[in-house]
């Protein structure tokens, strides 16, 4: 594969160059989110393999505690990768991130079980989850920054939405792999060895992603700033020293609030929730999630293009209001126990959520200049994800076990949607102005 030329005039990239850039940005997002998401899809089985508890619900709670812990290091990954990405380049850090998470995910697939090595098994599992969390902390903000800085003017929403599309295609792939595994293999074989298959798939995926990213050059914005001697000596310190950047980082923390309810509850948490709390068979829970993932994959590019036309703010406000209104009724459909009604409820929520997930990143990116963009955007977004996203499955599982109220995810969806609505209402829309370098 030939390299994209390091021109600073990215408004005239030909379609072939745009495809190469989008592929390089999205392939890592796909691998990272597949690797990260498969942990949620396999949570019920991992609880039996790696945790020892008197009740299955307690074992599942322990697995989700391990899921949540990995999010605590996401801000660290964002700081380290963002700092280096603003100093030495986005492309180098994206290559590193995809290598780290692929190795960590494959490592999970090779781990001995609790029956084999006792307490060391869950300890090693959590250690590898920490490596995954560090890597994802640098990946998401890096890949979205990369795509936004390459995107032609007037198409930033469309181009960056492809990364979110890739993330949900990754979740769909993980769901499909888990669904097929539960259908093809007897339950005893899944517990004995089958659970390893989804994690070991990280090896070929990671190699493909690494190869593609090695063949791409850095963004025109970064190269131009470097040639002019405008790179920041300490991008994170610079971000914190500016009142404008501090306010933007706060917005980067609160604009993604709804992402906790959408991404980590509606999709990653849903199969385990439907199995443990609503008593759906595992395969049916995966079918519901898979159908809603198809819906959101179709809707995301439309949301990105719409934001290029009418602005990010209008799309995000519409999505926030939609989730606040529809969250509880849609969960009521899921809680009926009927698969068709559950598919309807989950699909409606997925389409609404597309308006948020397909647009929130580009709105945040446009708040920062090139000098500090990777660092500041990554830190704010990953702190938000750590607090409101990664902890959500653990907190909701605990709340449901404590209260017996299966509507806790619906309440969470409504509250986070209202939080996003308030944050977005304070932002000046920059959809139709060029990205700034300083």
pLDDT (tens digit per residue) in 142-168: 999 999 999 988 999 999 999 999 988
Q: Would you say residue 64 has pLDDT above 80?
A: no
Q: How far is CA 383 from the centre of its chain?
A: 13
pLDDT on residue 55: 63
pLDDT on residue 430: 94
Could you give the CA distance from residue 283 to residue 266 in angstroms, rounded to a whole number? 16
pLDDT band at 8; cut points 50, 70, 90? very low
Higher pLDDT, residue 282 or 372: 372
Average pLDDT, the chain: 86
Segment holding 326, helix H or strand E: helix 312-334
Q: Average of pLDDT values for 301-328?
A: 96
Percent of the chain with pLDDT over 70: 93
Q: Average of pLDDT values for 174-181?
A: 80
pLDDT (tens digit per residue) in 353-403: 999 999 999 999 999 999 999 999 999 999 998 888 777 777 777 888 888
pTM: 0.85
Cα dihedral 161→251→72→201 (10° resolution): 0
Q: Average of pLDDT values for 325-347?
A: 90
pLDDT on residue 182: 78
Given a contact cutoff of 8 angstroms between Cβ atoms, the answer to whether 392 and 262 are in contact is no
pLDDT on residue 427: 95
pLDDT band at 13; cut points 50, 70, 90? low
Is residue 402 helix, strand or coil?
A: helix
Q: Average of pLDDT values for 39-51?
A: 77
Is residue 232 helix, strand or coil?
A: coil
Q: Average of pLDDT values for 278-288?
A: 79
Q: Average of pLDDT values for 409-429?
A: 93
What would the 3-class secondary structure string for 333-399 be?
A: HHCCCCHHHHHHHHHHHHHHHHHHHCCHHHHHHCCCCCCCHHHHHHHHHHHHHHHHHHCHHHHHHHH
How many residues are listed for the chain in this entry? Answer: 438
pLDDT on residue 2: 40
Q: Would you say residue 303 has pLDDT above 80?
A: yes
pLDDT on residue 36: 66
Percent of the chain with pLDDT over 90: 43
Q: Would you say residue 54 has pLDDT above 70?
A: no
Q: What totals of helices (H) and strands (E) does the chain contain, helices first?
A: 23, 0
pLDDT on residue 377: 95
Q: Average of pLDDT values for 179-187?
A: 83
pLDDT band at 309; cut points 50, 70, 90? very high
Q: Which residue has the tokens 């605590």?
A: 72
pLDDT on residue 53: 61
What are the tokens at 21? 């850039």
Q: Would you say residue 7 has pLDDT above 50?
A: no
pLDDT on residue 68: 73
Higher pLDDT, residue 213 or 282: 213
Could you give the CA distance from residue 50 to residue 37 in angstroms, rounded to a whole number? 18
Q: Would you say residue 6 has pLDDT above 50?
A: no
Q: Average of pLDDT values for 184-196?
A: 87
pLDDT on residue 3: 45
pLDDT (tens digit per residue) in 222-265: 999 999 999 999 999 999 999 999 999 999 999 999 987 777 67
pLDDT on residue 51: 78
Which region, left, alpha or beta, applies to residue 89 given φ > 0 means left and ψ of -120 to 50 means alpha? left
Q: Average of pLDDT values for 6-13?
A: 49
pLDDT on residue 299: 97
Helix axes 90-110, 74-88, angle to 10 degrees: 150
How many CA atoms does the CB half-sphere of 61 hold within 13 Å? Answer: 15
Q: Average of pLDDT values for 301-313?
A: 97
Q: Average of pLDDT values for 196-217?
A: 88
């Amino acid at each position: 594969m030939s390299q994209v030329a390091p021109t600073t005039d990215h408004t005239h990239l030909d379609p072939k160059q745009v495809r190469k850039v989008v592929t390089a940005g999205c392939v890592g997002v796909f691998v990272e989110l597949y690797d990260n998401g498969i942990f949620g899809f396999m949570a019920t089985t991992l609880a039996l393999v790696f945790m020892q508890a008197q009740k299955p619900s307690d074992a599942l709670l322990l697995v989700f505690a391990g899921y949540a812990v990995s999010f605590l290091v996401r801000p660290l990954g964002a700081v380290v990768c963002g700092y280096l990405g603003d100093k030495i380049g986005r492309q180098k850090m994206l290559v590193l991130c995809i290598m780290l998470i692929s190795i960590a995910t494959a490592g999970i697939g090779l781990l001995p079980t609790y029956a084999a090595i006792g307490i060391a098994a869950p300890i090693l599992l959590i250690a590898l989850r920490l490596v995954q969390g560090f890597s994802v902390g640098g990946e998401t903000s890096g890949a979205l920054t990369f795509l936004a800085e390459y995107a032609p003017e007037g198409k930033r929403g469309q181009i960056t939405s492809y990364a979110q599309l890739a993330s949900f295609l990754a979740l769909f792939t993980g769901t499909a792999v888990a669904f097929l595994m539960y259908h093809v293999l007897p339950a005893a074989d899944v517990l004995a060895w089958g659970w390893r298959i989804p994690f070991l798939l990280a090896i070929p995926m990671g190699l493909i992603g690494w190869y593609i990213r090695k063949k791409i050059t850095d963004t025109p914005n970064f190269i131009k700033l470097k040639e002019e001697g405008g790179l920041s000596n300490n991008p994170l310190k610079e971000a914190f020293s500016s009142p404008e950047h501090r306010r933007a980082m706060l917005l980067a923390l609160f604009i993604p609030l709804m992402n906790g309810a959408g991404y980590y509850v509606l999709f990653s948490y849903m199969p385990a929730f439907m199995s443990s709390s609503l008593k759906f068979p595992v395969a049916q829970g995966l079918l519901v999630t898979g159908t809603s993932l198809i819906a959101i994959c179709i809707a995301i590019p439309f949301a990105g293009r719409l934001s290029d036309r009418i602005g990010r703010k209008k799309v995000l406000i519409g999505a926030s209001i939609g989730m606040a209104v529809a969250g509880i009724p849609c969960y009521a459909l899921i809680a009926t126990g009927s698969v068709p009604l559950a598919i309807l409820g989950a699909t409606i929520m997925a389409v609404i959520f597309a308006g948020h997930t397909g647009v929130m990143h580009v709105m945040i990116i446009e708040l920062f200049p090139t000098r500090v963009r990777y660092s500041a955007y990554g830190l704010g977004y990953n702190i938000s994800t750590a607090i409101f996203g990664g902890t959500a499955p653990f907190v909701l599982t605990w709340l449901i076990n404590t209260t017996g109220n299966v509507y806790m995810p619906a309440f969470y969806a409504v509250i986070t949607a209202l939080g996003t609505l308030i944050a977005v209402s304070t932002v000046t829309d920059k959809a139709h102005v060029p990205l700034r370098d300083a």
